[in-house]
Amino acid sequence: MSPNASHFHETDPEKSSLLDWGRRLKIINGVARGMQYLHEDSQLKIVHQDLKASNVLLDSDYNPKISDFGLARLFGGDQTQDVTNRVVGTYGYMAPEYAMRGHYSVKSDVFSFGVLILEIVTGRRNSGSYYSEQSGDLLSIIWEHWTMGTIMEMVDRSMGERAAGGEIVRCIHVGLLCVQENPVSRPAMSAVNVMLSGGTVSLKAPSRPAFYIRKEGGDGCTGPYSGSFVGTLPSSGRSAPMSPNEVSITELEPR
């Protein structure tokens, strides 16, 4: 890793402006290829379990490197999913079936990747809470704009006006497919890479994202909180309130 390596999410607005659309697309494609390798191309199927912006490192050429495999799980043979009563991860990136019931699979990583795409395109972090009445999480806001046909209003303006609108909309579309509530509806990472490649590949219409919050009236659903936590699910399979902690985003400096 280069001495200039850094986490993707730069907190300094001047540094984030260095990430034009070409570099952001390079990051999206690189992470997508890396996740496909973990899920489908390596000898063992690996579920990362904690894919998020602060676990994506960039070298001096803005090539992304997926880091922090401390929570990763290995799946063998024909295993497709598992369940745990000890939920560990980061709100905002966690798939609903894992956060609420302890069920995890490669589709849990796909959900996290979808959140990551949407953050990269918008320059915003996902936020909200399972246990509050807050509204305004990123997935809900993006979905509202998507359904109203105003999605370009969500694009990070620091990329400049030269950003390719068609590519951006396609990436948002893929991101929304990845964060669908039903894990079966989410595409595999190999399919994600095909969709991101563009060409004549047509994309299905996405369904409402997980933890979607209606702006008016509400439907009882609340969005994910962008902090880390460790919690234990009761035997009933329902989730108990868990204490979130602040996530520290730092830049790697040379010694």
The answer to whether residue 173 is domain-embedded is yes
**Which is catalytic among the residues 50, 109, 137, 156?**
50
Neighbours of 98 (CB within 10 A): 26
The answer to whether residue 201 is domain-embedded is yes
- Burial category of 144 from C-beta neighbours within 10 Å (exposed 0-12, middle 13-18, buried 19 and up): middle
pLDDT digits (tens, 9 = 90+) for 28-40: 999 999 999 999 9
What pLDDT, on the 0 to 100 scale, is given for residue 104?
Answer: 95
What pLDDT, on the 0 to 100 scale, is given for residue 9?
Answer: 59
Query: Which residue would you say has higher pLDDT here, 194 or 14?
Result: 194
Strand runs (DSSP E) across the chain, as ranges? Answer: 6-7, 45-47, 56-58, 64-66, 73-75, 81-83, 86-90, 103-105, 228-232
What pLDDT, on the 0 to 100 scale, is given for residue 198?
Answer: 83
Q: Give the pLDDT mean for 115-144.
A: 79
CB 228 within 8 A of CB 99: no
Tell me whether residue 50 is one of the annotated catalytic residues. yes
What pLDDT, on the 0 to 100 scale, is given for residue 89?
Answer: 87
Please give the residue range of the domain that contains residue 67: 6-77+84-232
pLDDT digits (tens, 9 = 90+) for 180-216: 999 999 999 999 999 999 877 899 999 999 865 544 4
What pLDDT, on the 0 to 100 scale, is given for residue 248?
Answer: 30
Long-range contacts made by residues 212-218, C-beta under 8 angstroms, separation at least 24? Answer: 212/139, 212/140, 212/143, 212/181, 213/128, 213/135, 213/136, 213/137, 213/140, 214/135, 214/140, 215/135, 215/140, 215/144, 218/133, 218/135
CA-to-CA dists, residue 168 to 112, 130, 153, angstroms: 18, 29, 12
Query: Which residue would you say has higher pLDDT here, 29 or 251?
Result: 29
Neighbours of 27 (CB within 10 A): 21
- In terms of Cα–Cα distance, which of 49, 105, 114 is closest to 78? 105
Report whether pLDDT(242) > 90.
no
Report whether pLDDT(127) > 70.
yes
Sheet with 56-58, edge to edge strand ranges: 6-7, 56-58, 64-66
Report whether pLDDT(23) > 90.
yes
The answer to whether residue 152 is domain-embedded is yes
pLDDT digits (tens, 9 = 90+) for 146-183: 999 999 999 998 887 666 889 999 999 999 999 999 99
Q: How many whole angstroms separate alpha carbon 186 and alpha carbon 183?
A: 5
The answer to whether residue 245 is domain-embedded is no
Torsions phi, psi for 144 (to 5 deg): -60, -45
pLDDT digits (tens, 9 = 90+) for 57-110: 999 999 999 999 999 999 988 888 999 988 988 889 999 999 999 999 999 999
Query: Which residue would you say has higher pLDDT here, 127 or 112?
Result: 112
What pLDDT, on the 0 to 100 scale, is given for residue 14?
Answer: 53
The answer to whether residue 242 is domain-embedded is no
The answer to whether residue 223 is domain-embedded is yes
The answer to whether residue 190 is domain-embedded is yes
Cβ-Cβ contacts under 8 Å for 132 (sequence gap 6 or more): 222
What pLDDT, on the 0 to 100 scale, is given for residue 247?
Answer: 32
Q: Give the pLDDT mean for 123-142.
A: 70
CB 224 within 8 A of CB 137: yes
How many structural domains compose the chain? 1
The answer to whether residue 53 is domain-embedded is yes
What's the CATH code of the domain at 223? 1.10.510.10
What pLDDT, on the 0 to 100 scale, is given for residue 78?
Answer: 83
Identify the band that residue 10 occupies on the pLDDT scale cut at 50, 70 and 90: low
